[in-house]
Structure 1
Amino acid sequence: MVTFVHAADIHLDSPLRGLFSYEGAPSVEEIRGATRQVLDNLVNFILLEDVPLLLIAGDLYDGDWQDFNTGLYFASQMRRLAEAGVRVAIVRGNHDAANAMTKTLPLPDSVKVFKSRKPETWLLDDLGIAVHGQSYASAEVTANLAAAYPDPVDGMFNIGLLHCLTSGARGHLPYAPCTVDELASRGYDYWALGHVHRFSVLREAPHIVYAGCTQGRHIRETGRKGCVWVEADQGVLTTEFVPLDVVGWLVVVADVSGAESIQEAASLFGKALGVAIRGEGGRPCCVRGVLKGRCAAHGRLCSDPITLTAHIRAVASDVSENTVWIEKVEVQTGPEADLQQLAQSDTPQGELLRYLAELAVHPEEIDLDLTDLKSKLAGSGLKIPLNDVKQVLEDAGALLLTALADAQSKQEAS
């Protein structure tokens, strides 16, 4: 039987983005070492299951180290594996292409780091495995490395270890580009790929697999992250995804239709959040909240993001017992009123909507110089569609309608 673990894109000591400290949030310090904890989980799993081989398909590190501690920590984990007789095969990717400190890092003899000059083969006769691989020579590799990989070794289980972007994959730079058909034509039994951060099986005959990253590092890396456990026995190959990550990233969409206040909208978000985190087992999660639906509170949600975020964070703290960070709150709601009907009415609101609609048809009549505003907003994290006149007018209309409604309410109350 052939058994091994395929991991990739560990990005050791990479910071997790979006974990801001605020009142009621979990301690950021508790999970600053998330990628190290995940490496611990990976090594512990291999030792527990008595797996003889670990493959790391690139981006073990996250660029140049700040000091030797990152490399020394990795080396200590490799010594744990070496003491148990586990071999480790590594190719460098675009984030960890060889640098001065990498070249001088002492690793056990059981660790094979493939060279970058050309593909090479590592024969593990006792395991019946031949691993073929090539590291990146620089951070940007645009050549099809797989095209030069050697022929499979007869009588061995052949593995291609590669950091690349296959055709059809999205969201990543086109480094070492190749097609699934090209990989399949090499005649290997398994392709262990890295670079794409989501686990996916591209083909089963032969198996061509992206392990995904081991720990999500920002809101675009949602879903469980981990490694792939592979077993092949008498021609039958099975794969199992093994989650390893310690911090989750979630997008929670809440329907706040009918909410009449910021507090009510936050309460409805809290209910959606409670449902979303039930399957997380109490582990820390970084959450982006998205509010949708038509509601009377729409204008207030748009005009007072600071108050809204404070209420959302407070509710999240209560619901999750301080295990959730609110990374960002997006308001995608709309006004509760029927705007088309309101625009036809003989009211101040109707007159306002008709005027804004006319401006949207003739945006050239709006002579606004927003250069200074754009400059002041740069780096603030606020996304305001200053180049989308129609959207700006819709947002302005919502705020003005809310202001008119508030003024009428005060007048009726007096």
Structure 2
Amino acid sequence: MRFVHAADIHLDSPLVGLSRYEGAPVERLRGATRQALAKLVEFVIAEEVPLLLIAGDVYDGDWQDFNTGLHFNSQMIRLGRHGVTVVMIHGNHDADNVMTRRLPLPENVRVLDHRKPQTLVFEELGVAVHGQSFATKAVSENLAAGYPQARPDLFNIGLLHTALGTPGYDPYAPCSMDDLLAKQYEYWALGHVHEHAVLHTDPHVVFAGCLQGRHVREPGAKGCVLVEAEGRRVSTRFEPMDVVRWDTACADVAGATGPEEAVSIWRGAFEQALERAGCLALACRAVLTGNCAAHAALQKDAEGAAALVQNTAAEASRGSAWIEKVLVETGPEIDFEELARSDTPQGDLLRFVEQCADDAEAFAQLEADLTPLTSKIARTGAALPDLDDPEERRRIMREVRDIVLPRLTEQGEG
């Protein structure tokens, strides 16, 4: 018996704010979720799989128009023509109270009830699918606790949208691994967490992950899970379905004497990201780290450094990759401990900066009053630093140290 487990398609996800990025392939990225869904459908058909399970969040929320729903239905009709049954639940993004636009689903698609757990039995497959949709966006009760016990004469699958305690995700439909194992199902098909993970075997408890990464916080391959079962013996195979691969190319550029050399070192990390993406389009964040002589120039001309990175990426990828953001997190090539012990103006300044970083009263002596800038900065949408936060004060003073001292040290040496 074989089936495919997918989740978190987020069809026509709006990718809010993408148009602000210079050179972003907006249309290509906006169409990525549709292309990933088409790849999923083609895969199911090619594998001659009779059953597709979708563990929530087919949509990203209510549609702007009916085209989103029409596109999903057209893909499901393709599956129906090949005898594929689709069973799905609604998650927090497409819960019953979130969606106001509706279209009748094709006959081969079944959505499990949101009022109580529902079981669908497919005698010809020897399968029972148990599950419950979200009635509202924020489901705080343990839905899994109400699922029925396994049918001993069938292969039992639990379909559930939950974080299962995964950090960084809203704790909707909270439950524990013990809650799931107690049902004695052969397979749990989970959604909500966007990283693929096999959390337990015998029985299998699996997050399929999302079908297509939507931003740099969703890096790496995204796709579905092909499941093959013989009795209680289950094997799984993750199958990538994404059409745009998100990644981060981070390089330690220690020793670089200038921006060009620093970016040349970074190119090696970027080429590794290209290799990981394979034939897929790459959307990449560039990060430069390490202490180097190039630090002051990189910080002084951040726009020029970003242009160097983008130009290098275009050359290395032959224009097929897009740099989402450039972060320069380098530091000066200075022995701060030795400088702090020195009887020099630079040493005096460093000691004062370190004192301001750790001492609120010393920081207050700077009399940093941002009141006149508050309204102007607010109109840009940027956030003012919280000067009452010790960590924020330390961050600001470390940045001051890393920018100012290298220049003063060079002048002192001259």
What TM-score comes out, normalization by structure 2 length?
0.91
Match of 2:399 among 388, 395, 401: 395
2:3 is aligned to: 4
CA 1:186/1:265 → structure 2, altered by over 3 Å: closer, same or farther? Answer: same
Match of 1:261 among 237, 258, 262: 258
The SS at the match of 1:171 is coil
Question: Deviation string for 1:199-237 (max 9, x for gaps)?
Answer: 111111211111111111111111110000001014321
**For the residues of structure 1 that align with 2:282 and 2:19, how far apart are their CA atoms?**
12
1:364 is aligned to: 364
Segment drifting more, 38-47 vs 124-133: 124-133
What residue identity is the alignment partner of 2:401? G
CA 1:383/1:207 → structure 2, altered by over 3 Å: closer, same or farther? Answer: farther
2:131 is aligned to: 133
**For the residues of structure 1 that align with 2:86 and 2:184, how far apart are their CA atoms?**
23
The SS at the match of 2:283 is strand
What residue identity is the alignment partner of 1:395? E
**For the residues of structure 2 that align with 1:383 and 1:56, how far apart are their CA atoms?**
42
The SS at the match of 1:399 is helix
The correspondence of residues 146-185 of structure 1 with structure 2, limited to 5 A, is: 146-167=144-165, 169-185=166-182
Question: Deviation string for 1:172-225 (max 9, x for gaps)?
Answer: 101000001111101211111101111111111211111111111111111110
**For the residues of structure 2 that align with 1:326 and 1:218, how far apart are their CA atoms?**
12
Segment drifting more, 141-150 vs 347-356: 347-356
- Aligned residue pair count: 407
Structure 1: give runs of 5+ residues left out of the alignment.
none
1:209 is aligned to: 206
Offset at residue 406 of structure 1 (A): 5.9
What residue identity is the alignment partner of 1:5? V
The SS at the match of 2:211 is coil
Structure 2: give runs of 5+ residues left out of the alignment.
none
CA 1:100/1:193 → structure 2, altered by over 3 Å: closer, same or farther? Answer: closer
CA 1:348/1:354 → structure 2, altered by over 3 Å: closer, same or farther? Answer: same
Segment drifting more, 321-330 vs 383-392: 383-392
CA 1:235/1:400 → structure 2, altered by over 3 Å: closer, same or farther? Answer: closer
What TM-score comes out, normalization by structure 1 length?
0.91
Match of 1:404 among 397, 401, 408: 408
**For the residues of structure 2 that align with 1:270 and 1:164, how far apart are their CA atoms?**
39
* C-alpha contact 2:63 2:101 (8 A) present in aligned 1: no
Higher relative contact order (CA 8 A, sep 6+): 1
Offset at residue 100 of structure 1 (A): 8.3
The correspondence of residues 4-403 of structure 1 with structure 2, limited to 5 A, is: 4-16=3-15, 25=23, 27-98=25-96, 104-167=102-165, 169-360=166-357, 361=359, 362-373=362-373, 376-377=376-377, 387=389, 388-403=392-407
* C-alpha contact 2:155 2:186 (8 A) present in aligned 1: yes
Offset at residue 7 of structure 1 (A): 0.3
Offset at residue 148 of structure 1 (A): 0.8
Question: Deviation string for 1:302-341 (max 9, x for gaps)?
Answer: 2332222111111111111112221222222211021222
**For the residues of structure 2 that align with 1:55 and 1:209, how far apart are their CA atoms?**
12
CA 1:383/1:171 → structure 2, altered by over 3 Å: closer, same or farther? Answer: farther
Offset at residue 19 of structure 1 (A): 5.1
CA 1:402/1:384 → structure 2, altered by over 3 Å: closer, same or farther? Answer: farther
**For the residues of structure 2 that align with 1:205 and 1:234, how far apart are their CA atoms?**
12
**For the residues of structure 2 that align with 1:292 and 1:261, how far apart are their CA atoms?**
14
Offset at residue 125 of structure 1 (A): 1.1
The SS at the match of 1:248 is strand
Offset at residue 390 of structure 1 (A): 2.5
**For the residues of structure 1 that align with 2:133 and 2:371, how far apart are their CA atoms?**
46
The SS at the match of 2:327 is strand
* C-alpha contact 1:26 1:322 (8 A) present in aligned 2: no
* C-alpha contact 2:97 2:135 (8 A) present in aligned 1: no
- Identical aligned residues as a percent: 50
